[in-house]
Amino acid sequence: MIGRQGRVTGKIGPGLVGEVMIPIRGGVEAFYAYPSVPDEEIPVGSIIVVVEHSPPRTVYVVRAVV
């Protein structure tokens, strides 16, 4: 999971449980997402990179540099 890219489908930010869609196992799956940088907000539609995975469905992410 670490290093995979995905797209934000539910706003990520402090005090929020965001959602991202990540391509995995030949499909696309939803994961709960939190910012890995405290107080960072990542809006819907942004591309993210997974930096930490907490099984089964939680990831910590940063905004991808494009």
Distance, CA of 23 to CA of 4 (rounded, Å): 8
Fill in the amino acid letter for 27. G
Mean pLDDT, range 53-58, rounded to an integer? 97
Separation CA 57–CA 39 (nearest Å):
21
Does pLDDT of 66 surpass 90? no
Which pTM does this prediction carry? 0.93
- For domain 5-63, the CATH class is mainly beta
Q: What gap in Å lies between CA 31 and CA 7, rounded to an integer?
A: 10
Instruction: Give the mean pLDDT of the chain.
Output: 96
